[in-house]
Amino acid sequence: MTAEIINLRQVRKQREREARAAEAAENRARFGRTRGERERDELSEARKKLLLDSHQLDPAADPASDNAPADPAPKSPSPKAP
C-alpha cells in the first residue's frame, strides 16, 4: 500500500481560501445588501425627495401669506475714514 502524496503548499492555500470564503459569507450575512441595492435605494430616496420638494409651495410667491419675509431696511453707505 502506498500513501497518498499531498502537496502541503496546496493544502495550506486551500485552507486559507476556505477561511476567506467563510469570513466573506459571515460579512454578507452581517452587512446584508449589495452595492447595487444600496445605490438603487439612494436613487429612489433622492427621487422621492425631489418629487416632494417640487410640490412644496413657496411662501415668498404667495402674497396673502403671513410667512413671507419682510424686506430689510435699505442700508446707508458707511462713511469712509480719511
Question: Tens of pLDDT along 23-74?
Answer: 999 998 888 888 898 899 999 999 999 999 998 887 676 555 555 555 565 5
Confidence (pLDDT) at 67: 58
> CA angle at residue 42 from 34 to 36, to 5 degrees?
25
Q: At residue 1, does pLDDT exceed 80?
A: no
DSSP 16-76: HHHHHHHHHHHHHHHH---HHHHHHHHHHHHHHHHHHHHT---TTT-TT-TTSPPPPPPPP
pTM of the model: 0.39
3-class state of residue 16 by DSSP: helix
